[in-house]
Amino acid sequence: MQKNLLQKVLDVSGEMPFHERLRVGLCLTWVGGFLEVYTFLLHGGVFANAQTGNLLLLAIETSRGNPHAVYYLLPIGAFFAGVFISEWIRNRQTAQQSIVWQHTILLVEAAVFLVIALLPKGTDDAVVIVAVAFVCAMQFNTFRKAHGLAYASTFCTGNLRSAVENLFYGVFRHHPERAKTAGRYFSVIGAFLCGTMTGYWFVTFWGQLSILLCAAVVVVLFVAMKWRCKKRKCCAEQSRQQAGEGAQKS
């Protein structure tokens, strides 16, 4: 019974775009959790995924007249650039191209992770924090839905709110679908926590190179998305050919 419930929670429609499937969202959220602990443990105890804290510190240090306030513009600017460039990529690519824009974002992520892993020892923490903020902005802006649900793959505040809201309606208003939705949000939160825990273990043993694990995950997602996209195009082409043959016979 528990297995059937889990299958219903993770059930995904075959018509849903592959990049919006819950399993893809779980993988990306795992990466988000990994990156949080990566920058926190290795680069100055900083959480680089979201920019609320940096905006707060920017305002505080500016109020104090501290020139150091300019430092916080770096990750904020990187986040800005990540969103801006991801939108630019989306608007540059067309449906006729061999890869869709989500694929390109994953390749950019993998490339940035590789560069971070290969940075020489002693590189300023700000370089890595800016790079991670840039990647997280691209991922956050690109992958916005999982199983038709709005979610965030790089932090959990909104996911937690949505999980509790749907749990309330599922339990106290007896809406089974809302309960399933709550389960999906809790699974996303669980993936984030798994990312932080496994990130802690790998960072402890591998240090800076541990980010290659994130690169491996996004490369696997890229290959899977590319394969599904190619398969879908082949099926569509076969359907058109069959429809054309049927029209000729008639």
Q: What is the pLDDT of residues 147-169, one digit of tens each?
A: 999 999 999 999 999 999 999 99
pLDDT value, residue 124: 93
Those residues with Cβ within 8 angstroms of residue 91's Cβ, 6 or more apart along the chain or in another chain: none
For residue 111, pLDDT beyond 50: yes
For residue 227, pLDDT beyond 90: no
Min mean pLDDT across 66-75, 109-118, 157-166, 224-233 is at: 224-233
Give yes or no for a contact between 144 and 92, defined as CB atoms under 8 angstroms apart: no
For residue 64, pLDDT beyond 90: yes
Stretch 85-99: mean pLDDT: 78
For residue 113, pLDDT beyond 50: yes
Phi-psi region of 207 (alpha: psi -120 to 50; beta: other; left: phi over 0): left
Phi-psi region of 43 (alpha: psi -120 to 50; beta: other; left: phi over 0): beta
% of the chain surpassing 90 pLDDT = 68
Stretch 7-30: mean pLDDT: 76
pLDDT value, residue 15: 66
Of residues 152 and 244, more confidently modeled: 152
Domain boundaries, the chain: 2-249
Residue recorded with tokens 């997280």: 136
Stretch 34-59: mean pLDDT: 91
DSSP H/E element including 132: helix 125-142
CB neighbour burial string for 89-110, b if at least 16 within 10 angstroms, e if fewer:
beeebeeeeeebbbbbbbebbb
pLDDT value, residue 243: 47
For residue 36, pLDDT beyond 70: yes
3-state secondary structure of 146: strand
Those residues with Cβ within 8 angstroms of residue 175's Cβ, 6 or more apart along the chain or in another chain: 169
Min mean pLDDT across 14-23, 105-114, 135-144, 188-197 is at: 14-23
C-alpha span between 229 and 100 (Å, rounded):
9
| pTM: predicted TM-score of the whole model, two decimal places | 0.84
For residue 1, pLDDT beyond 50: no
pLDDT value, residue 68: 86
Give yes or no for a contact between 183 and 65, defined as CB atoms under 8 angstroms apart: no
Stretch 111-140: mean pLDDT: 95
Residue recorded with tokens 């696997």: 220
For residue 198, pLDDT beyond 90: yes
What φ, ψ does residue 43 adopt, rounded to 5°?
A: -135, 65
Residue recorded with tokens 């924090």: 129
Stretch 94-106: mean pLDDT: 76
Instruction: For the chain, give the mean pLDDT.
Output: 86
pLDDT value, residue 10: 47
CB neighbour burial string for 177-212, b if at least 16 within 10 angstroms, e if fewer:
ebbbbbbbbbbbbebbeebbebbbebbeeeebebbb
Those residues with Cβ within 8 angstroms of residue 60's Cβ, 6 or more apart along the chain or in another chain: none
Return the CATH number of the domain spanning residue range 2-249.
1.20.1250
pLDDT value, residue 172: 92
Give yes or no for a contact between 85 and 68, defined as CB atoms under 8 angstroms apart: no
